[in-house]
């Protein structure tokens, strides 16, 4: 399969972009869905932000480097990747904090309704933020299995909150159909695009979505813990009322008024001062992904994962696939079940192949197409086959769990 | 006064630390209370975080570089600067977001009480976060002038929320006395240390304070929009229940459970993933301030501001001082009233002296003692006297206001 892989790499129109990332030698990185790789331009840009903007221009950079509009600027660049208008997206805080803002806003808009509907096994923080509002006495969580969500929608549901691409399985929800089903009962919809943005195209406005949030540190390559983004459809801009009403979301923050008055549009989602170094790093990642183009990225990611499955079959590996078999129905990842998935993941890492483990029994391999090669697929399949054939994962060393798994 | 200034600089035990900062030539920077200067070590450290931790070790750095405990590690280093134990302080989010968490937690602990008492003219975001909870129907804001706060404390007050050093005037509240007065009526106290931490010593535990928040980008030199910190007295660690219950505050985030269960102690104040680049930059600033020592810093800042007032008197400048005249009663700043304070500030900036303007009529000069010289005081007084004598501020150019004032 290695020859075939090399031929595919030779004709890959995205092959040139691998060199735009700073990747360690001897590593096959299949965890870009957890932490995207470092764009080479990021280190240069951050040097500039530190030395010129912070060090030299100091406080003046709020105007001269336009730090004050950095959240809007980067949000506007993310917008076309997710089917939004530039003024509908802003960079702020974390996914969790943005979920809290938008769930709260939805509850305010839906007076008389307090149910937030989601699925069990959604990414935990999505559920935890609903539970935070439950603890405040303002919301009621309702969970329905993914094939029973439409039936669980009724006139009590204020908001349907779903993650578009499931973090564990990679399964994609039908955004258009579910948004319509929610709207049919008067519910709003909030999409978590953490495993979508930068990996596959999505059309928020085409689907008539109300709200969305997404992560900056996965397929957008914004760096560890990069700030997140939030989307509010233009039609809701005047209705948004959210409780994290910090001074940066004020209509006139530098008037230092005692009374909060929200800024227009998505600006009112801002709360405190944005972490400029981290948002600047995110901008570089977003620029690079936008340059490559999200349609081309998704096409390559499907080709990579399909080729990987062929390589596995060729090598006689038959791990149960948890992800959908149909490539159009999954995100940029493949997840496999193995009862010792943690140890299996560690055994791969020891051979320079970095995937990740998701409790309790999932080996998750992400195919960030901006910097992966078909050759990486062939080699990974080969090593995985060898590890399984020899039960090389079955050692105390590989079973010992670190703080972060 | 210049000779006297140079003599003072020659005998200043902190003079050597100026060289640890990357300061632009020809600039006197009197705005470290808004954005602290760049420590030279920060650019090197961030290069290392980007190239080695992110670029090379990638996702493994959550364990190998201990990113997962970075919020606790940096919080623990801030703790001795504010009279806290290391496990009582954590770095997270922004001041605004942390205010929301702790006001919410206080309301939960004080069932039956819903008044949050503060002062008019407090830093706006402090009031806006109370108002955010008012909008949720969970709190009632009560404001009392600073000399009437004790009288405004009664059995309805859940929490007294004050900023220790006032952002505009620099006036210091008596933390011990006000904390005791609040406790006497059963109220909890939350101190905003944004203009305190790293500038003057404060003894949270000695004053029996309950909660505190503070800013990373002023006297801690953490960089633009650096993450903030939060303090919870150990005796409240088990009682804290806050609604921004994100996955990083979960007792076992990597078990990916559907149900939120708070981590012990201040860890439960974490919400989303910390912006590692920005927190890493903050750590460098905190290390440097801790090395210099906050008692020495405050002594020098008082000497600087007293000397500056002497220089002004010598130069015949008689701008009304808004800050307390007694140096022990003000933070590391001097604020003056002038009806065209904005233009006056711009005229100073045009001469390389960067202070700031706070609406509507305050010229605020900050004396970050880690990198300022007595010579800077003499020169600033000289230029200010000249600008005022010639009304050099009175031009359309200096009156034109930018987005950030």
Consult the annotation and say whether A394 binds a ligand.
Answer: no
**What is the pLDDT, as a whole number, of residue A379?**
97
Query: In whole numbers, what is the pLDDT of chain A averaged over residues?
Result: 97
Q: Write down the CATH number for the domain with range B43-291.
A: 3.40.640.10
CB contact under 8 A, A274 and B225: yes
Active site residue B217: yes
Active site residue B358: no
Distance from CA of B204 to the nearest CA of A (A): 24
pLDDT in tens, A305-320: 999 999 999 999 999 9
**What is the pLDDT, as a whole number, of residue A401?**
87
Low-confidence ranges of chain B (pLDDT < 50): none
**What is the pLDDT, as a whole number, of residue B402?**
84
Residue of A nearest to B216 (CA): A275
**What is the mean predicted confidence (pLDDT) over A15-34?**
96
In a 3-state reduction of DSSP, which class is residue A117? strand
Consult the annotation and say whether A217 binds a ligand.
Answer: yes
Distance from CA of A405 to the nearest CA of B (A): 6
Contact of A136 with chain B, judged by CB distance below 8 Å, is answered with: yes
pLDDT in tens, A4-13: 999 999 999 9
**What is the pLDDT, as a whole number, of residue B359?**
87
Q: CB pairs under 8 A, 24+ apart, for A319-324?
A: A319/A363, A319/A384, A319/A388, A322/A168, A322/A169, A322/A362, A323/A169, A323/A170, A323/A171, A324/A169, A324/A170, A324/A171, A324/A172
**What is the pLDDT, as a whole number, of residue B404?**
84
CB contact under 8 A, A246 and B120: no
**What is the pLDDT, as a whole number, of residue A223?**
98
**What is the pLDDT, as a whole number, of residue A18?**
98
Distance, in Å, from the CA atom of B142 to the CA atom of B121, rounded to the nearest integer, reads 13
Question: Given B123, B167, B308, B374, which residue is catalytic?
Answer: B123
Q: Where are the domains of chain A?
A: 2-30+293-399, 43-291
Q: If pLDDT is split at 50, 70 and 90, which confidence band does A405 have?
A: confident
Distance from CA of A397 to the nearest CA of B (A): 15
Contact of A241 with chain B, judged by CB distance below 8 Å, is answered with: yes
CB-nearest to A359 from B226, B255, B276 is B255
In A180-326, DSSP assigns E strands to 188-192, 211-214, 228-232
Residue A105 has pLDDT above 90, yes or no: yes
CB-nearest to A59 from B31, B94, B125 is B31
CB contact under 8 A, A259 and B131: yes
**What is the pLDDT, as a whole number, of residue A359?**
87
**What is the pLDDT, as a whole number, of residue A65?**
97
CB contact under 8 A, A271 and B94: yes
Distance, in Å, from the CA atom of B65 to the CA atom of B74, rounded to the nearest integer, reads 14
ipTM of the prediction: 0.97
Phi, psi of B74 (to 5 degrees): -70, -35
DSSP track, A33-83: TTSPPEEHHHHHHHHHIIIIIIIITGGGHHHHT-GGGHHHHHHHHHGGGTT
**What is the pLDDT, as a whole number, of residue B265?**
97
pLDDT > 70 fraction of chain A, expressed in percent and rounded: 100
Consult the annotation and say whether A192 binds a ligand.
Answer: yes
Mutation for B interface: A33, A36, A114, A132, most B CBs within 10 A: A132
Residue A387 has pLDDT above 90, yes or no: yes
Distance, in Å, from the CA atom of A109 to the CA atom of A346, rounded to the nearest integer, reads 47
Question: Given A100, A167, A211, A217, which residue is catalytic?
Answer: A217
Phi, psi of A104 (to 5 degrees): -60, -45
Residue A167 has pLDDT above 90, yes or no: yes
The answer to whether the CB of A336 falls within 8 A of the CB of A308 is: no
Active site residue B235: no
Question: Which of A215, A283, A256, A225 minimizes the C-alpha distance to A69?
Answer: A283
Active site residue B17: no
Residue A76 has pLDDT above 90, yes or no: yes
In a 3-state reduction of DSSP, which class is residue A250? strand
Consult the annotation and say whether B273 binds a ligand.
Answer: yes
Contact of A281 with chain B, judged by CB distance below 8 Å, is answered with: yes
The answer to whether the CB of B211 falls within 8 A of the CB of B71 is: no
**What is the mean predicted confidence (pLDDT) over A322-333?**
97
Structure tokens at B103: 């006001």
* CATH class as words, domain B2-30+294-399: alpha beta
Consult the annotation and say whether A247 binds a ligand.
Answer: yes
pLDDT in tens, A252-303: 999 999 999 999 999 999 999 999 999 999 999 999 999 999 999 999 999 9
Reply yes or no on domain A2-30+293-399 having CATH 3.20.20.70: no
Compute the half-sphere exposure of residue B396: CA atoms within 13 Å on the CB side of its CA.
Answer: 0
pLDDT in tens, A204-261: 999 999 999 999 999 999 999 999 999 999 999 999 999 999 999 999 999 999 999 9
């Amino acid at each position: 399969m290695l020859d075939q892989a090399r031929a595919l790499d030779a004709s890959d129109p995205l092959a040139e972009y691998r060199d735009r990332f700073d990747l360690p030698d001897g590593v096959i990185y299949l965890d870009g869905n957890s932490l995207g790789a470092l764009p080479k331009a990021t280190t240069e840009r951050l040097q500039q932000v530190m030395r010129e903007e912070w060090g030299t221009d100091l406080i003046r950079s709020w105007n001269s480097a336009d730090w004050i509009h950095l959240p809007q600027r980067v949000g506007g660049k993310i917008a076309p990747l997710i089917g939004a208008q530039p003024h509908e997206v802003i960079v702020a805080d974390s996914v969790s904090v943005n979920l809290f803002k938008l769930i709260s806003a939805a509850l305010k808009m839906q007076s008389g309704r307090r149910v937030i509907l989601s699925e069990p096994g959604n990414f935990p923080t999505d559920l935890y933020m609903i539970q935070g509002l439950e603890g405040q006495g303002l919301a009621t969580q309702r969970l329905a299995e993914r094939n029973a969500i439409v039936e669980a929608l009724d006139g009590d549901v204020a908001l349907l909150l779903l993650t578009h691409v499931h973090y564990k399985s990679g399964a994609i929800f039908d955004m258009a159909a579910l948004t319509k089903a929610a709207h049919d009962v008067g519910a709003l919809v909030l999409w978590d695009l953490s495993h979508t943005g930068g990996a596959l195209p999505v059309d928020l406005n085409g689907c008539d979505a109300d709200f969305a949030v997404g992560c900056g540190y996965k397929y957008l390559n914004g760096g560890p813990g990069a700030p997140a983004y939030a989307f509010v459809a233009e039609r809701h801009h005047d209705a948004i009322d959210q409780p994290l009403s910090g001074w940066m979301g004020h209509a006139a923050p530098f008037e230092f008024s005692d009374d909060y008055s929200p800024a227009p549009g998505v600006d009112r989602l801002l709360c405190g001062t944005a972490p400029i170094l981290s948002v600047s790093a995110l901008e570089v990642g977003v620029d690079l992904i936008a340059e490559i183009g999200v349609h081309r990225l998704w096409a390559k990611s499907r080709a990579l994962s399909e080729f990987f499955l062929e390589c596995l079959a060729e090598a006689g590996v038959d791990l149960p696939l948890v992800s959908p078999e149909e490539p159009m129905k999954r995100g940029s990842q493949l997840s496999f079940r193995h009862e010792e998935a943690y140890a299996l993941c560690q055994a791969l890492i020891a051979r320079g192949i970095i995937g990740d483990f998701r409790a309790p029994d999932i080996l998750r391999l992400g195919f960030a197409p901006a910097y992966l090669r078909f050759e990486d697929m062939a080699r990974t399949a080969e090593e995985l086959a060898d590890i399984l054939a020899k039960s090389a994962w079955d050692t105390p060393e590989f079973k010992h769990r670190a703080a972060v798994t």
